[in-house]
Structure 1
Amino acid sequence: MLETLGSEYETLEVVYKETKSIRELKGFLSEHRDAGCLVLSAHGSYDNKNNSAGLSIGEDIWMANENDFSVPPIVLLSSCHVSPRGSGVVSVADMFMRCGAFTVLGTFIPVDVRRNGLLMIRLFLYIAETQIGKYDFKTLDEIWAFIVSSNAINEVIDSNPALKRWAMQVKPDGSFPLKDFQQIQSVGKLRVSHVYEDTMNVLSEMMKGEKLEAHLENIKHTDNFFPESLFYQLIGHPENVFITNKVFEQASES
């Protein structure tokens, strides 16, 4: 999927295509050289014997190590373990930097496709809402830091079906606990360095006196959830990818 931003971020064109070979993918990239963002959804392949991590494209494992293509400034890899660290691995995420990307989002480990989808949806949602002035983020790294730090609630409730049903149960006024947590109860109470602990504390306050409180206590004492969003990494220079910039906008208007 490729996304192209309009001249003043007023329009957003999304081009989607399923490619079945590396050659077809490169052709698609060549047709859309003006794209601002590339989202690649594919299986990741980590070969620990050869110390390499690539993408499964058709019948091949692609390392993006050729010189016959280029990529948009933002590349988001919606794939498992395409950017492992710690063993000098050669990764497709690093190769995309060589091909012209300013920043690349990759994963250290295998990830759940549903949780990955939620992260991607939230990322584009906050990018769009930042552009229309709803939030004060300036750069991509600021938005991503917020996405990760605020995603703990989703990982906690996903670990227990009963909690998930409670969190998504819509009240007569149209509200539901997850929405209350995100927009009211947790505002100003989630520290980045203690986000899981603070999330649990806010949930405990919200669930006082409810039968489901025992489920939350069990999770608190057993750490029975996996902080998957912490195993993503934005490499390169996401701090140089401006989503909004008043100085640039004023200069453009003048």
Structure 2
Amino acid sequence: MQTLNNAASGIWTDDVKLAVSKASALITFSNFPVGLLTLPGDTSPLVYRLPVTHRPLAPLTAALRFEFGPTPRIDLSSGFRVLVAECVGPDDPVGRLSRSGWDMAEEMLKSSPSKVIMTRVDVASAADLNAAIDSHEPDVLVISAHGAEVDGVAGLRVGKDFYAGSGQRLWPPVVILSACRVAPRGAGGPNIADRILEQGAVAVLATHVEVDVRHNALLCLRLFLYMALAVEGAEPEEDLLSVWHRVQGSSPIADVMNGIGPLERWMQTVGAEGVPRFVQFMTEANRGRLRRTHAFDDTERFLIELAAETGDSASLQQWLSSPGYLPESAFYSMAGLPENVLFKRRPVLSLPPLPRSRAVVSGRA
């Protein structure tokens, strides 16, 4: 990440810094992973500061069709259908962990008053996957698979088939690629995430790098939780972009715990307040203790404060330095028009409130 910051240091003119610091969202027309950069003065990547949307530029003809074509608006305010296509076999450890995560998501949605219906299917080939999409016609499609790369193209392993979204088919409005390294940026070549967007999806969530299946399951679980709550009216977010930013922006503690086993176990034990330390952390965090612009620094500082109450500061500081952790949630990207996937109905004859500003960054790979 420091290498990326060094490579892009020249873009931070005073005007650009001011624009980004005042923006309510960032749209990046670039093959460079702009969301991983850190605004000078911050210590956390841009994806934690504000919502970041990626609009791929390669191939340029597809990018122009996307920008100058009709602008779709997807209304999911009355509920939506989710299809989870599991492409990893049950004998694979990743497949078992993945299914456990979807079990929890399914139970959560069943108990929700929102009209969100989740259907799960096992698929063993690319043909099975296409047939499942055509049969169920979901509003939100999740493809749970191993990532793969063939001839420089990043795609999915579906049974024995390599699947890269080639060919023409109708895609659901929202596609979540629950797989490793399906949207590499920078020096990355063609990828399935961009192809799905080219072929008609409105928004695609994908990963830049390899990710931990347990952490991925937690992110997806929280994403569907807040989507359902937004439809229900229990949370203020109105669209997919704002929901995803809430999930991603509140994930640093999960990133830290996921990377440090002793710390994760320590957080489940009872602290000085008589409740599990994780509960105490989340309670205090919701009172404004954590700044998104310094999400990881503030998380570490707060954890050290908790540890000091019981004399565990030395152990905690050692865990943070070794083995350390990866800010894994930063390496997910939302592409397309997620702001047009609505969870609350907007009156046709009224204008939405004006945002402060939207900063646009363009560039070439």
Amino acid at match of 1:143: V
For 1:154 and 1:7, the matched residues in 2 are separated by 29
SS in 2 for 1:204: helix
SS in 2 for 1:90: coil
Q: Quote the residue 1:146 is aligned against.
A: 246
Per-residue CA deviation, residues 97-130 of structure 1 (Å, 9 max, x unaligned), is 1222111111111111111111111111111122
Q: Quote the residue 1:46 is aligned against.
A: 149
Q: Aligned residue pairs: how many?
A: 242
Q: Quote the residue 1:30 is aligned against.
A: 134
Tell me the TM-score normalised to structure 2 length.
0.61
SS in 1 for 2:177: strand
In the alignment, structure 1 residue 78 sits paired with structure 2 residue 173 = no
Say if 2:263 and 2:319, in contact at 8 Å, map to a contact too: no
Q: CA deviation at 1:88?
A: 5.1
Q: CA deviation at 1:22?
A: 0.9
Per-residue CA deviation, residues 127-181 of structure 1 (Å, 9 max, x unaligned), is 112222332111111121121121111121233333212212368x994221222
Distance 1:74 1:6, change over 3 A: closer
Q: Quote the residue 1:15 is aligned against.
A: 119
For 1:216 and 1:65, the matched residues in 2 are separated by 48
SS in 2 for 1:135: coil
For 1:112 and 1:118, the matched residues in 2 are separated by 10
Moved more, 13-22 or 236-245: 236-245
Q: Quote the residue 1:113 is aligned against.
A: 213
For 2:340 and 2:77, the matched residues in 1 are separated by 18
Say if 2:77 and 2:343, in contact at 8 Å, map to a contact too: no
Q: Quote the residue 2:292 is aligned against.
A: 192
For 2:339 and 2:285, the matched residues in 1 are separated by 30
Q: CA deviation at 1:204?
A: 2.0
Q: Quote the residue 1:66 is aligned against.
A: 167
Say if 1:45 and 1:61, in contact at 8 Å, map to a contact too: yes
Q: CA deviation at 1:79?
A: 0.3
Moved more, 228-237 or 122-131: 122-131
Structure 1 unmatched ranges of 5 or more: none
For 2:77 and 2:320, the matched residues in 1 are separated by 48
Structure 2 unmatched ranges of 5 or more: 1-74, 80-113, 351-365
Distance 1:218 1:62, change over 3 A: same
Distance 1:174 1:15, change over 3 A: farther
Per-residue CA deviation, residues 14-44 of structure 1 (Å, 9 max, x unaligned), is 11101111111111111122x2100000011
Amino acid at match of 2:124: K
Q: CA deviation at 1:82?
A: 0.4
Distance 1:174 1:56, change over 3 A: farther
Per-residue CA deviation, residues 206-245 of structure 1 (Å, 9 max, x unaligned), is 2223243223222445681111111110111111111224
Distance 1:177 1:132, change over 3 A: farther
SS in 1 for 2:148: strand
Moved more, 82-91 or 184-193: 184-193
Q: CA deviation at 1:246?
A: 5.1
What is the root-mean-square deviation of aligned Cα atoms in Å? 2.6
User: Of 301, 309, 326, which aligns to 1:201?
Assistant: 301
For 2:216 and 2:135, the matched residues in 1 are separated by 27
For 2:346 and 2:128, the matched residues in 1 are separated by 39
For 1:129 and 1:188, the matched residues in 2 are separated by 22
